Amino acid sequence: MPIDAPQYNGIAATDYLRELLDLFENANIGIMVTRFDGAVRRANPAQRRIAGWAPSDAAGPAGTATSSGTATSSGTARPSGTARPSARTLLGDDVWEQVTAAAVDGHALHNVAVDLRRADGSTVAALLDANGDADGGVLRLVTRPAFSGSLPGPDEADTRAWHKQWSQTEVGPLLGGLGETAVTALTKELEDLFELLPVPLHGMARTAEVRRTNLIHLAFLGCAEEPTRFVGQNLLGIFAVEEDLVALGESMTVDNAILNYPTTIRRLDGTLLPMQVYSSTVTRDGEFVGTRCFLFFTDASDAPDGPRPFTARPVPATVDGYRR
Instruction: Write the pLDDT tens digit of every residue in 287-317.
Output: 898 999 999 999 999 999 988 544 444 433 3
To the nearest whole percent, how much of the chain has pLDDT over 70?
Answer: 84
| Cβ atoms within 10 Å of 317's Cβ, excluding its own | 5
User: pLDDT-based confidence at 11, cuts 50/70/90?
Assistant: confident
Give the pLDDT confidence of 157-185 residue by residue, as tens digits: 999 999 999 988 888 888 888 899 999 99
Distance CA 309, CA 23 (A): 30
State residue 42's pLDDT score.
95
Whether pLDDT at 319 is above 50: no
| Cβ atoms within 10 Å of 247's Cβ, excluding its own | 17
Helix (H) or strand (E) holding 264: strand 257-266
User: pLDDT-based confidence at 76, cuts 50/70/90?
Assistant: very low
CA angle 226, 239, 156 (to 5 degrees): 130
Which residue type does 153 have? G
Cis peptide before 6 (omega within 30 of 0): no
On the 0-12 / 13-18 / 19+ scale of CB atoms within 10 A, 322 is buried
93 or 176, which is more confident = 93
Q: Nearest 5°: phi and psi at 32?
A: -145, 155
Name the average pLDDT for the chain: 86
Beta-bridge partners for 123? 117
State residue 73's pLDDT score.
36
State residue 310's pLDDT score.
46
Distance CA 60, CA 74 (A): 9
pTM confidence score = 0.87
- Contacts of residue 37, Cβ cutoff 8 Å, sequence gap at least 6: 88
State residue 83's pLDDT score.
57
User: pLDDT-based confidence at 60, cuts 50/70/90?
Assistant: low
On the 0-12 / 13-18 / 19+ scale of CB atoms within 10 A, 63 is middle
State residue 176's pLDDT score.
84
State residue 253's pLDDT score.
93
In which order are the strands placed within the sheet that holds 123-133? Answer: 40-43, 30-35, 138-145, 123-133, 109-117
- Contacts of residue 161, Cβ cutoff 8 Å, sequence gap at least 6: none
State residue 5's pLDDT score.
59
Beta-bridge partners for 264? 274
